[in-house]
Structure 1
């Protein structure tokens, strides 16, 4: 089982810096970030009442980074009709340790989505991955996201997608965790 806890800049910066600067994380645009830049970013996020960062752990080992935010208070506000109950989300899976584990990334996104919907006020989760990130589009679809269309953000062309609580529940119903 994957459990999410708040990101702790003192504890987690080094680990997350390692993840963000690996080639597989290129869509995060932080390949050249220093540890201090990563720390400063997450300290700033912690000070912003509209954003949060999370570390997901399984069996005591960090396996994911997630960020949640209120889309009405960020760049997305000008690109779609935000609604009360919307929660924006980003996630990054930790690099593998040992042999690849079939279904692991799906378990990660499922845990992140369950975390998002654990808050009763969250009615939809909103994502805006790079349009070129086919792997994450497939994962998003697998947990119930529906594409609204492409939007041009300051740093990328993104596929704006939403997932309602009902869409998520229907997508994972009967699928082993």
Structure 2
């Protein structure tokens, strides 16, 4: 499925990263193994069955307000990202939405052999992809307030922490990154 690549980014240390759309049925076994792993607890799918994962990504694929992409590192599946319209889902009514906002989630595949700098390269790739769309002016995220590791990564690519918000499933730390803040933090120009 590498012929369906939507975006490529070259990391100076770790090489090529790429994104392709998730194929809900075909990718479900892989995504199930990632999402039910203890390291993926903040995705709230620990108890999901294989058919639950396929159904969830089928809904995402059918949604006009969300998309899921499988991330590849040097051609191998290594992470997952989702882009969503925060005015319609996830953050609808919970923050002052602006035209040009895009919501984002990402998940690195659990591994027993971590690669130094990998997660930062992943979030940089995801942000570069989002900002490659000239309509996107800000990226908005809502990680769990307890997920301090992702807060540090978000700050590293230019996110500003705005406020804690209450979502039905969690207390979240609303954070926003403008194109200018991303480029200043990473040196990556995106459009």
Same fold (TM over 0.5): yes
Partner of 2:4: none
**Matches for 1:26-175 after TM superposition, within 5 Å:** 26-96=41-111, 99-173=113-187
Q: Contact 2:37–2:46 at 8 Å: present in 1 too? A: yes
What runs of 5+ residues in structure 1 fail to find an aligned partner? none
Residues in 2 aligned to 1:168 and 1:27: alpha-carbon distance in whole angstroms: 24
1:40-75 Cα shifts (integer Å, max 9, x gaps): 011011111000000010122011100110001014
Matched length: 173
Shift of 1:95: 1.7
Structure 2 regions of 5+ residues with no counterpart?
1-15
Say whether the 8 Å CA contact 2:24–2:61 is kept in structure 1. no
Alpha-carbon displacement from aligned partner over 1:65-101 (angstroms, at most 9, x marks no partner) = 001100010141211110100000000001226x321
State how far apart, in whole Å, the 2-side matches of 1:96 and 1:117 are.
28
User: How far off its partner does 1:121 sit?
Assistant: 0.3
Query: TM-score, with normalisation over the residues of structure 1?
Result: 0.95
Secondary structure at the residue paired with 2:92? Answer: helix
Name whichever structure is richer in helix by fraction. 1
C-alpha distance in 1 between matches for 2:47 and 2:90: 23
Q: Distance in 2 between matches of 1:75 and 1:141?
A: 21
RMSD, matched Cα: 1.1
Q: Which whole-Å CA distance do the structure 2 matches of 1:79 and 1:107 have between them?
A: 29
- Contact (CA 8 Å) 2:141, 2:174: kept in 1 or not? yes
**Misfit runs of 4+, over 4 Å:** none
1-side partners of 2:69 and 2:114: how far apart?
23
Supply the distance in 1 between the matched residues of 2:116 and 2:95 (Cα, whole angstroms): 35
